[in-house]
Amino acid sequence: MIQKKDILKVLSQIEDPDLHKDIVSLGFIKELVIDGSSVSFSIELTTAGCPLKNMFKTEAEKLVLSIDGVEKVQVVMTARQTRYGNSSDSLKKVKHVIAVASAKGGVGKSTIAATLACEFAAKGFKVGLLDTDLFGPSLPTLFNIHESQIVQRENMLIPMEYNGLKLMSFGFLLGDAPAIMRGPMVSGYIQQLLTTVEWGELDYLFIDMPPGTGDIQLTISQTIKLDGAVIVTTRSSLSLVDVARGILMFEKVQIPTLGVVENMAYFICDNCEKEHFIFGEKKSDLSERFGIETIAHIPVDSNRAKPFDTYETNAVNSDLADSLIRQVGKISADAVAPPEVKLLSDRVIFTWLGNPPIEIENHILRDACKCALCVDEYSGEKTLKTEDIPQDIHALEVTPLGNYAVSIQWSDGHTSSIYPYKTIRSIDSGRAG
């Protein structure tokens, strides 16, 4: 007779590549029913539209069919119900809100926000795009909409519907006139825009943030509940310092960074069709430095500099959406809880629940910093001199960064150290070996 435990045993061979655990321990298997020689169950993923869906289904069918006596298998793929994060009238039917940010202007943040909106719409999601830049709204230019008529219903603004996307921008309210405003007025306008647009039902709302990492960006992060942020950067000089600044700003308000998009990373030559990485190798060390992934490298492409027309024609890189959906799934599964951290005068102790503590001497940890001030951004060579680290170096403050890293403020005035959890574990295992 077919037993439930045998089915779970074979299914536990399937590992979720993002969460690094098998799908049985992750609690993905639901409604398992055995009826004679037929088996049916559902696999509940953490996020709808997960690109791994088909891989899990095929593998599960194959494994269960290999059990003696099983003649028929029915696998239904489902997704965990999203809890709506925002209760305001404006966003209460929006499942995920994702900020698209950059520390500097001109890196292509608005272009990437619009590209993401198009990619997600092309996958069948209901998508909105909100441009919150008061001083230089780009959405009217990006979509070539200069005569929008925003309708007001009761006290709410209704976003524009444009080829299947819902769009809203300060540009639609202000026209082409530049905004001249002082700080408090800006915050007030932004808060109004965040809370008075009636988005209706959406799977994803992308917020094109104003460039920078200051008060306006914090106002946005504190007014609404964001699932996470995508940071857009180019590999131009000092951009890694900017990425660190962006990560730390969002972490101040407990918003995880979902990943980085490296824009204008390469170009494809007309003659040889080869990808030329102008600013260095495709492989980026962001993951090693900050514990976050590079979601995509986007080429310099003259088509991207043209106005967006339909989302179908602008959706050209479906990997971009797939990678981001997987990141959202990882965050919602909350697979890795942050460690408990103890700061002592000579070392730092990290303890992950259920694991032995990892103790690292302050000197060694400070020396392992891979920020842009300690390691050359381009050559990857260490610029920090071990002998320059004060003998009495100690950590003043530790802040967990989402579920991937900690940032440490050191007594030598160095504040930009980010240590991915995997770096901490590798220092420990390097010494053990």
The answer to the question of residue 300 lying near ligand ADP (CB under 6 A) is yes
Among 108, 171, 329, 338, binds ligand ADP (CB under 6 A): 108
- Minimum Å gap between C-beta 223 and ligand ADP is 21
Burial of 177 (0-12, 13-18, 19+ CB in 10 A): exposed
- Minimum Å gap between C-beta 264 and ligand ADP is 5
Among 14, 73, 264, 348, binds ligand ADP (CB under 6 A): 264
Which one of the spans 3-11, 108-116, 190-198, 250-258 is the region binding ligand ADP (CB under 6 A)? 108-116
Q: Which residues contact 125 (CB under 8 A, 6 or more apart)?
A: 49, 203, 204
- Minimum Å gap between C-beta 178 and ligand ADP is 15
Among 86, 110, 148, 423, binds ligand ADP (CB under 6 A): 110
Residue 319 CA to residue 300 CA, distance in Å, equals: 17
Q: Which is nearer to ligand ADP, 288 or 301 (CB)?
A: 301
- Minimum Å gap between C-beta 209 and ligand ADP is 9
Q: Which is nearer to ligand ADP, 111 or 417 (CB)?
A: 111
Residue 93 CA to residue 389 CA, distance in Å, equals: 52
Q: Which is nearer to ligand ADP, 11 or 264 (CB)?
A: 264
The answer to the question of residue 107 lying near ligand ADP (CB under 6 A) is yes
Q: Which is nearer to ligand ADP, 305 or 353 (CB)?
A: 305
Assign 3-class secondary structure to 286-354.
HHHHHCCCEEEEEECCHHHHCCCCCHHHHCCCHHHHHHHHHHHHHHHHCCCCCCEEEECCCEEEEECCC
Q: Which is nearer to ligand ADP, 95 or 104 (CB)?
A: 104
The Cα angle at residue 197 between residues 195 and 199, in degrees rounded to 5: 115
- Minimum Å gap between C-beta 115 and ligand ADP is 8
The Cα angle at residue 21 between residues 417 and 116, in degrees rounded to 5: 65
Q: Which is nearer to ligand ADP, 233 or 417 (CB)?
A: 233
In the region spanning residues 130 to 169, those forming contacts with ligand ADP, defined by CB under 6 A, are: 138
Residue 156 CA to residue 91 CA, distance in Å, equals: 12
Query: Given strand 29-35, what is the order of strands in its sheet?
Result: 29-35, 38-45, 72-79
What Cα–Cα distance (Å) separates residue 416 from each residue in 103, 231, 241, 260, 300? 15, 17, 8, 18, 30
The answer to the question of residue 263 lying near ligand ADP (CB under 6 A) is yes
**x-marked contacts with ligand ADP along 67-106 as a string, rule CB under 6 A:** -----------------------------------x--xx
- Minimum Å gap between C-beta 181 and ligand ADP is 19
Q: Which is nearer to ligand ADP, 301 or 367 (CB)?
A: 301
Nearest to 197 by CA among 234, 162, 160: 160
Site residues (CB under 6 A) for ligand ADP? 102, 105-111, 138, 211, 263-264, 298, 300-301, 304-305
